[in-house]
Amino acid sequence: MKNTAIFIIAMVVAAAAGYGLQQMISSDTPMPRQQQSEVIGTKRPEFAMIDIHGQLRNIKDFDGQVILLNFWATWCPPCLKEIPDFIEVQEEFADNGFQIVGVAVENEEDVKHFAEEMGMNYPVMAGEMEAIELARRYGNSMGALPFSAIIDQSGTITHTFTGELSKSRLKAILKDLDIG
């Protein structure tokens, strides 16, 4: 019962933050996309989660690659807007040492259906409280979605973003990290 209440509160906070972020994005007020975070320049936290196909995925599985770790939800409009671009970028750069890993902040059943419908071509995990805590460990102190962390080939977090990450910005970062 206590865990359910905490989860509901966390989801309400995340939804409110996502709604507020969407309002800021769609307004004329410029908003910085890259978040200055205390985790930038640090070694990425280790984790393992079961993906939506039942396979255990460990962040270490992607060592030596540039990783875009993206936290998202099916009910988050800016999350849904960036996913088609992520699918394209994953397809374009997969053979060059780039890997997107998606972590959805909701239940597995909804995520699995959505990922299959969208044709997501990268590993996707789903977790409720576990995903929220993991996002915090990667620098998401605001609890907003979408949230992305970019990890270089050595496992160092180089960038964090709160809000939609554009395809052009992602490609520029990949170029800076010698991908592509």
Rounded Cα–Cα distance for residues 157 and 152 (Å): 6
CATH number at residue 35: 3.40.30.10
Q: Hunting for tokens 């939506």 — which residue is that?
A: 52
How many domains, the chain?
A: 1
CB hemisphere CA count around 66 (13 angstroms): 23
Please state the pTM of the whole predicted model: 0.81
Task: Count CB-CB contacts under 10 A for residue 15.
Answer: 14
Please give the chain's pLDDT, 180 residues, in tens. 555 444 444 443 444 445 444 544 443 333 434 545 789 999 999 999 999 999 999 999 999 999 999 999 999 999 999 999 999 999 999 999 999 999 999 999 999 999 999 999 999 999 989 999 999 999 999 899 999 999 999 999 999 999 999 999 999 999 999 997
Q: How far is CA 91 from CA 84, 86, 88, 180, in A?
A: 11, 8, 5, 12
Residue 21: which domain range?
A: 2-176
Q: Which amino acid is at 86?
A: F
Q: Are 39 and 160 in contact (CB under 8 A)?
A: yes
- Answer yes or no: are the C-beta atoms of 41 and 157 closer than 8 Å: yes
Q: Provide the pLDDT for residue 9.
A: 44
3-state per-residue secondary structure call for the chain: CHHHHHHHHHHHHHHHHHHHHHHHHHCCCCCCCECCCCCCCCECCCCEEEECCCCEEEHHHHCCCEEEEEEECCCCHHHHHHHHHHHHHHHHHHHHCEEEEEEECCCHHHHHHHHHHHCCCCCEEECCHHHHHHHHHCCCCCCCCCEEEEECCCCEEEEEEECCCCHHHHHHHHHHCCCC
